[in-house]
Amino acid sequence: MAPATNRRQFLQKTAMAAAALYSSRFAGPQGTSIPDVDPGPLDKAELRNLTSQIAGRVITADGPEYEAARLVFNRAFNQRPALIVRCAGPQDVARALEFAQRRSLPVAVRGGGHSRAGFSMCNGGMVIDLSNMKRVEVDSRMHIARAEAGALVRHLDQATQLAGLATTAGGCPNVGIAGFTLGGGEGTLMSKFGAACDNLLSAHVVTVDGRQVDASPSSNADLFWALRGGGGNFGVVTSFEYRLYPVNEILSGTITYPAHREHLHAFAKFVAEAPDELNVFAELLPSANGLRFLIHLRYIGSPQPGNDLIRPLRGPLQPLDDNVRKMTYLESQSAGFIPAPFAHFQTNLLLPLLTEPAVEALMVAINDAPAQFRVLIVPLYGAISRVNINDTAFALRQPGFEVDMLGAWNTPAERDGAVRWIANLRDKLRPMARGTYVNQLGETSAQLVRDAYGPNYPRLAEIKRKYDPANVLRLNQNITPA
Ligand SMILES: Cc1cc2nc3c(=O)[nH]c(=O)nc-3n(C[C@H](O)[C@H](O)[C@H](O)COP(=O)(O)OP(=O)(O)OC[C@H]3O[C@@H](n4cnc5c(N)ncnc54)[C@H](O)[C@@H]3O)c2cc1C
């Protein structure tokens, strides 16, 4: 990786040349271990040969699809891969992996392209793009969904809700199920049904040596364990099987308050008493009328007990707005957060408790924040916290509050201020924190990855050595082979 100062100079030049996209690989304040590699020009005959073996498409810089195909959700990243292999199935994935390794190309794997850290794109390497593989089949009798790895949260939700079923999925309909599930997968059903990875029944995987294997409790159980939270480190997953649950009408919506300390404390107190059926998370953000504190609620059950449970958040706390009402789970998923792509930096950490000093740090920070920021406070409790820490790779099993801090910018000039603000807040909270969630990290370091997996890290490193000893799949929150 180039030193930070050179990188910054490079970014400034790129920004002048590119009107809409503001930076190349954005390291985040802690840097990244990922080198930008120039593999040299690819041989035309080689490329033709690859194209002839692929049922999907091979997209190169001279093709009409290239500019759109290389964009990712986080517009802080503006990368130019040598080629994008848009796969039609597992065979294509195997061929792409073989080509990339023979040619020593870095490999990025793209599901829904929503990585906070821009991991699903690269400079000068190959992108294995699964976005055309998005079929979802639902077995409504067995309560199982089989989804190809390019499916987005909304594809999974739409298909399962047709049968009155659902499984834990993220709050943004455009997030890819692959990255989401492989990193753990937090959603509004997690307090009742666990994380997405807890509902994974099996996965079909192409390993870096081109084998197609199934991972489940009875087949390659070590790989199955690692896939449930360990990210894209162990192979390219081409499909997932999920356990589903009956979920129809729910009580859902948001209660809005001014951002005052007492609202945060009331929220922490409320969470401590919340049953599994009631999922809540909170958000601090700016508005035209001042800073706001939002509590988002989903009650999986009939409205009356739900309304009774949320009474303490209503009258006594004097909300500014309250749109909680009965709706289908699918409506509540689509009513959520559907942002257009934007340039941002986000990081996160897990606070065991929302203590007075933590609330104070948050309040001080938001009163001196850049124009575009957001702090999500996602409590982890209920079913997701009742799984033993070593039952899956996903290690955030103790109850607590995940704090996701995001700063965004429209121009390069705003970027440094936003990043600095996040870094300052993160550093203030860090002494009170333990652990971090890989899916909400826009930065990386060996230490952060170890923090994310805690006691599970050594086993993950062993499994990495077995399935990817040369660390071919390293554009991710990287677990290095033991
Ligand atoms: C707007 C927004 C909302 C979000 N909301 C939530 C939320 O509610 N809950 C939550 O838990 N997270 C949430 N996230 C975080 C999200 O879960 C992660 O960013 C996730 O990694 C995105 O998955 P993706 O497939 O879209 O991303 P990609 O960028 O395509 O991939 C992310 C990582 O997974 C790897 N990967 C992708 N597909 C495969 C595959 N098939 N096989 C192997 N590796 C693969 C990639 O190489 C990369 O390292 C959100 C992110 C955004 C930007």
Residues 6+ apart with CB under 8 A from 413: none
8-state DSSP, 289: T
For the chain, give the percent of residues with pLDDT over 70.
91
In whole angstroms, how far apart are CA 350 and each of 175, 251, 383, 437?
A: 22, 27, 17, 8
> Is 469 part of a structural domain of the chain?
no
Q: What is the CA radius of gyration of the chain?
A: 22
61, 118: one domain = yes
202, 172: one domain = yes
Atom of ligand 1 minimally distant from the CA of 175:
26
> Is 467 part of a structural domain of the chain?
no
274, 287: one domain = yes
What average pLDDT is seen over the chain? 91
The tens digit of pLDDT for each residue in 118-171 reads: 999 999 999 999 999 999 999 999 999 999 999 999 999 999 999 999 999 998
Binning pLDDT at 50, 70 and 90, where does residue 62 land? Answer: very high
CB 119 near ligand 1, within 6 Å: yes
140, 69: one domain = no
> Is 291 part of a structural domain of the chain?
yes
101, 13: one domain = yes
CB 130 near ligand 1, within 6 Å: yes
> Is 452 part of a structural domain of the chain?
no
Give the pLDDT score at 41: 74
Residues 6+ apart with CB under 8 A from 74: 26, 114, 115, 116, 117, 118, 341, 342, 343, 344, 442
Strand, coil or helix: what is 298?
strand
In whole angstroms, how far apart are CA 13 and each of 77, 360, 414, 472?
A: 14, 39, 16, 31
276, 407: one domain = yes
Give the pLDDT score at 381: 98
Q: Which residue among 110, 131, 193, 298 is best mutated to probe the pocket of ligand 1, counting the most ligand atoms within 8 A of its Cβ? A: 110
Atom of ligand 1 minimally distant from the CA of 116:
19
- Which of 246, 266, 285 finishes a domain? 246
Half-sphere exposure of 172 (CA within 13 A, CB side): 16
Calculate how far, in angstroms, residue 106's C-alpha sits from the geometric centre of ligand 1: 19
378, 405: one domain = yes
353, 421: one domain = yes
CB 112 near ligand 1, within 6 Å: yes
**What CATH number is associated with residue 156?**
3.30.465.10
CB 170 near ligand 1, within 6 Å: yes
Binning pLDDT at 50, 70 and 90, where does residue 43 land? Answer: confident
182, 160: one domain = yes
Does residue 22 have a pLDDT over 60?
Answer: no
> Is 41 part of a structural domain of the chain?
yes
CA-closest candidate to residue 433, choices 353, 346, 374, 330: 353
Contact status, residue 309 vs residue 275, Cβ threshold 8 Å: yes
Helix, strand, coil share (%) of the chain residues, nearest 5: 35, 25, 40
**What CATH number is associated with residue 20?**
3.30.43.10
290, 423: one domain = yes
240, 256: one domain = no
Give the pLDDT score at 4: 33
Does residue 2 have a pLDDT over 90?
Answer: no
CB 32 near ligand 1, within 6 Å: no
The tens digit of pLDDT for each residue in 196-222 reads: 999 999 999 999 999 999 999 999 999
- Which of 184, 216, 246 finishes a domain? 246
230, 278: one domain = no
The tens digit of pLDDT for each residue in 207-264 reads: 999 999 999 999 999 999 999 999 999 999 999 999 999 999 999 999 999 999 999 9
CB 93 near ligand 1, within 6 Å: no
CB 114 near ligand 1, within 6 Å: yes
**Lookup: tokens for 332:** 């509540």
> Is 473 part of a structural domain of the chain?
no
CB 125 near ligand 1, within 6 Å: no
**What CATH number is associated with residue 261?**
3.40.462.20
The tens digit of pLDDT for each residue in 352-399 reads: 999 999 999 999 999 999 999 999 999 999 999 999 999 999 999 999
Atom of ligand 1 minimally distant from the CA of 476:
49
> Is 38 part of a structural domain of the chain?
yes
Q: From atom 33 of ligand 1, which residue's Cα is the shortest distance away? A: 179
> Is 333 part of a structural domain of the chain?
yes
User: Residue 416: phi, psi to the nearest 5?
Assistant: -60, -40
Give the pLDDT score at 220: 98
CA-closest candidate to residue 282, choices 303, 302, 301, 266: 266
CB 190 near ligand 1, within 6 Å: no
CB 109 near ligand 1, within 6 Å: yes
Q: How many structural domains comprise the chain? A: 3
The tens digit of pLDDT for each residue in 428-464 reads: 999 999 999 999 999 999 999 999 999 999 999 999 9
Q: From atom 2 of ligand 1, which residue's Cα is the shortest distance away? A: 172
Give the pLDDT score at 38: 57
The tens digit of pLDDT for each residue in 330-352 reads: 999 987 667 899 999 999 999 99
Does residue 27 have a pLDDT over 70?
Answer: no
Q: Which domain holds residue 40?
A: 4-129
CB 185 near ligand 1, within 6 Å: yes
Give the pLDDT score at 37: 55
Atom of ligand 1 minimally distant from the CA of 74:
53
- Which of 246, 280, 308 finishes a domain? 246
Give the predicted TM-score (pTM) of the model.
Answer: 0.93
CB 232 near ligand 1, within 6 Å: yes
Q: Which tops the pLDDT comparison, 28 or 312?
A: 312
